[in-house]
Structure 1
Amino acid sequence: MKKGNYQKETLLVHEGYDSGQHHDSLTVPLYQTSTFAFETAEQGARRFVGEESGGIYSRLGNPTVRVLEERMAAMEYGASALAFGSGMAAVSAILVHLTKAGDHILCTRGIYGCTFGLLNIMKKKYNITHDLAALATEEEIEAVIKPNTVCIYVETPINPTMEIVDIELITKVAKKHGIQVVVDNTFSSPYLQNPLQLGANFVLHSATKYINGHGDVIAGILVGSDKEEMDVIRGTVQKDFGGIISPFDAWLLIRGLKTMHVRMERHTKNAEEIVAFLKASDHVENLYYPFDENNPQYEIAKKQMTAGGGLISFTVKGGMKNAQKFMNELALIKIAVSLGDAETLIQHPTTMTHSGVPEKERLEMGITDGLLRLSVGLENASDLIEDMKQAFAEL
């Protein structure tokens, strides 16, 4: 593709693909192959030592996957991207890359339940310790950094409390100490937030969510600001641990990316209407949404996000009993633990995504028994509101 100073919407459709190199196919072809043939033994030898570009084996690289990686690197304003078989494969890869036995990881006080589980595995097996902290001020960050801290791992908005973390503040302090910053950007998507531009070293996504957008792929993406370091990850952790994406899943993600900007705008518009409804409901105790003007972190959200996105969390009065009853009375909204799909989904973090987190840590994260997480889909917002109205009426 002839290079230009293109906007995000154009990059989502075109970046990383030259049809002239693929038999003039308008759509990115699916290279559904495990291996690639060499014309000669010498050519194979040259490719294995990096003297010649070209296919070797799809765990080491695939043309369809390369298009996805180049498009995601452009969307996050990064130097390079790697695609993985799941979001957790991307999380595992970057944490394994950055740490060794005895190191320390500093995390935001709320993180995805499986990331929490991975950190506990690393602590038990390799004495790689971690702390969860608010990280709201420079003083708070400085107070919890240790001599062996090598990584600050950030979720923002945090899953599922929607707490906002000031990425620029985190990176400012981290750079003083030579600490790498990793940001899980799944909830915002690269269309609404770009952590690398705010100083982070790495950004990752569960591409299962907004990047795909259709609920039919499990995948992860890691984007880095330093190409040489990303090449090291490609040639070590990704290659040898093997958590790669399949060409078909990469092809589906490329297809999903073409409409991500349109979808994110609709997700956000619907979410804003539902936020207004929930704020007026007598059944809702607390509501958490980045662009809610009553959100104490509203100004931080506005500084680093272009819109509030499609995720809302709220607590139902009456605790777990009423929260679960409300979910069971819904007719249109589906009970499911993912997010970013065309369908609106609701889940109960205490008993679902964060059920593996001990109660003490879960409550410290702000995950109470009455908390629900709503992933607003692409339906008509009035239909979703009517569904919630009738469900609330049964409480």
Structure 2
Amino acid sequence: NGVEFTYVGTSDLDAVQAAFKPNTKAVYIETPTNPMMEITDVRALSKMAHDRNALVIVDNTFLSPYFQKPLHLGADIVVHSGTKFIGGHHDVISGFTIVKDDELAAQLRLIYKTVGACLSAFDSWLVIRGIKTLALRMEQHQKNAIALAEWLKQEPKVTKVLFPGLPEHPGYEVNKSQTTGFGGMLSFEVDSEETAKQVLEGIQLIQFAESLGGTESLLTYPVTQTHPDLKPEDAERKGITRRLLRLSVGIEDTDDLIADLAQAFNK
């Protein structure tokens, strides 16, 4: 009969508690969320789920294992898009599932062996190459993201900056308590749809593209790229408006990135 599921904003633990049903088997979360950068308290949610005999699955793509280790926070399963920060170069398609229970690991291993859901030798080599520089890259991603978030705050055409590394972010303290960093992803809202289009058309160093987590900075328009399937009213309610832009901050020179955004805003 398929899988029954309920959508809930997991940064609101009261809402999560209210959403549990007698047949709930797992809670699937991402923190920070894409693209609104909301933070979930993994420790508190894991305790809540385990008290109800439910597993906790965390998509850890945005922070990578370098900045966040959900298994250490109580999660049962962690998934990553290896295409993103782990691979790090926009040249491999991969994904990973990590578990801490041996029995569960054996079940998953049987599935991927029998259906063939495993990487080729060359793709595996590309991922290993990426992992060798993961620490260096994540530090530079974060350094640039902090600088750009601070710059965007003072840009008159920007009305909101969503980045968990800003002390005013509502999830700042929770994020600090469960990670060693804030990562290289941020979103920001501008004053009009026209400004959003102006910036997307005006960037030169930063590329207008949908992926994330690579060495190059990518600017994305979530309402038509990552979340086009949402009904307009649902997208608006979630904050995914025609004024929202998501930025995957690369490892380029910080001043070059700021200069590129500045000229795009002022064309």
Report the AA paired with residue 217 of structure 1.
Answer: V
Instruction: Judge conservation of contact 1:345–1:374 (CA < 8 Å) in 2.
Output: yes
Alignment of 1:287-366 (within 5 A): 287-318=161-192, 320-366=193-239
Report the AA paired with residue 374 of structure 1.
Answer: L
Q: What is aligned with 1:180?
A: 55
Task: Extract unaligned runs of 5+ from structure 1.
Answer: 1-100, 102-125
Distance of 1:139 and 1:188 partners within structure 2: 25
Rg larger for = 1
CA RMSD of superposed structures (Å): 1.2
- State yes or no: 1:233 paired with 2:105: no
Distance of 1:216 and 1:198 partners within structure 2: 31
Report the AA paired with residue 365 of structure 1.
Answer: K
CA 1:363–1:242: 2 relative to 1, 3 Å? farther
Distance of 1:137 and 1:372 partners within structure 2: 24
- State yes or no: 1:195 paired with 2:70: yes
Q: What is aligned with 2:6?
A: 131
Instruction: Judge conservation of contact 2:11–2:39 (CA < 8 Å) in 1.
Output: no
Deviation per residue, 1:320-364 (Å, 9 max, x gap): 332122110111110111111111110100010111222233233
Q: What is aligned with 2:148?
A: 274
Instruction: Give the match's secondary structure for 2:6.
Output: strand
Distance of 1:194 and 1:210 partners within structure 2: 14
Equivalent in 107, 127, 132 of residue 258 of structure 1: 132
Instruction: Judge conservation of contact 1:326–1:391 (CA < 8 Å) in 2.
Output: yes
- State yes or no: 1:171 paired with 2:46: yes
Instruction: Give the match's secondary structure for 1:131.
Output: coil
Distance of 2:5 and 2:234 partners within structure 1: 13
Distance of 2:93 and 2:128 partners within structure 1: 13
Distance of 2:185 and 2:220 partners within structure 1: 11
1:253 CA displacement: 0.4
Distance of 1:221 and 1:211 partners within structure 2: 10
1:139 CA displacement: 3.0
Distance of 2:93 and 2:173 partners within structure 1: 33
1:169 CA displacement: 1.2
1:392 CA displacement: 0.5
Q: What is aligned with 1:10?
A: none
Q: TM-score, normalised by structure 2?
A: 0.97
Equivalent in 82, 95, 98 of residue 223 of structure 1: 98
Q: What is aligned with 1:377?
A: 250
Q: What is aligned with 1:64?
A: none
Deviation per residue, 1:160-179 (Å, 9 max, x gap): 11111111111010011000
Alignment of 1:109-148 (within 5 A): 126=2, 128-148=3-23
Q: TM-score, normalised by structure 1?
A: 0.66
Distance of 1:330 and 1:354 partners within structure 2: 22
Instruction: Give the match's secondary structure for 2:66.
Output: coil
Q: What is aligned with 1:105?
A: none
Alignment of 1:15-54 (within 5 A): none
How many residues in Structure 1 have an aligned counterpart in Structure 2? 267
Q: What is aligned with 1:208?
A: 83
Instruction: Judge conservation of contact 1:324–1:348 (CA < 8 Å) in 2.
Output: no
Task: Extract unaligned runs of 5+ from structure 2.
Answer: none
Q: What is aligned with 1:86?
A: none
Instruction: Give the match's secondary structure for 2:187.
Output: strand
Distance of 1:180 and 1:172 partners within structure 2: 10
CA 1:171–1:278: 2 relative to 1, 3 Å? same
